[in-house]
């Protein structure tokens, strides 16, 4: 018996996203942070140099399409948790923030391996191309709606 794989569409993409995000949010909740806090903290940790709050808001907004006021609140939460620190006009991740991301990463690696493991490289490459194109087109549509 041959089974035809379902075609990729917005629903399939959304279901996959929310399933994977649900796994990550479960891990994050054990560490006391939210998804948006993790994205903002990762942006600060991976920055080449300390970033201004507005730089981080722009980066997180571009990733999550989140409201800038919500992202500013998230940065305030990370400052209150001492996962970010202010240095003049810039924010940088604290040692506690870096350690938290490392702990989350260590916990999610084996889970990610179970989720992604065994998928042929050519399938991952094809999916990557399709997802990049979908994101590009969706970003263009969102920009057109904002004008």
- Are the beta carbons of 120 and 129 closer than 8 angstroms? no
Q: What would the pLDDT profile of 32-70 be if each residue is shown by its tens digit?
A: 999 999 999 999 999 988 899 999 999 999 999 999 999
Task: Give which of 43, 49, 27, 54 is closest to 83, Cα–Cα.
Answer: 43
> Is residue 16 very low, low, confident or very high in pLDDT (cuts 50, 70, 90)?
very high
> Is residue 2 very low, low, confident or very high in pLDDT (cuts 50, 70, 90)?
low
Measuring CA to CA, how many Å separate 73 from each of 28, 37, 80, 84?
Answer: 18, 10, 10, 13
Tell me the pTM.
0.88
Note the CATH number of domain 23-116: 1.10.10.10
Find the length of the chain.
147
Neighbouring CB atoms inside 10 A of 117's CB total 8
């Amino acid at each position: 018996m041959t089974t035809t794989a379902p075609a990729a569409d917005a629903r399939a993409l959304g279901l996959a996203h929310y399933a994977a995000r649900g796994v990550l949010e479960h891990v994050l909740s054990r560490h006391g942070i939210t998804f948006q806090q993790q994205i903002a903290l990762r942006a600060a940790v991976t920055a080449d140099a300390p970033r201004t709050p507005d730089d981080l808001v722009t980066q997180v907004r571009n990733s999550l399409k989140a409201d800038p006021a919500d992202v500013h609140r998230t940065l305030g939460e990370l400052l209150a948790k001492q996962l970010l620190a202010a240095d003049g006009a810039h924010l940088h991740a604290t040692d506690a923030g870096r350690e938290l991301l490392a702990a989350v990463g260590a916990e999610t690696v084996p889970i990610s391996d179970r989720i992604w493991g065994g998928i042929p490289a050519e399938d991952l490459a094809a999916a990557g191309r399709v997802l990049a194109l979908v994101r590009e087109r969706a970003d263009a549509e969102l920009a057109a709606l904002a004008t």
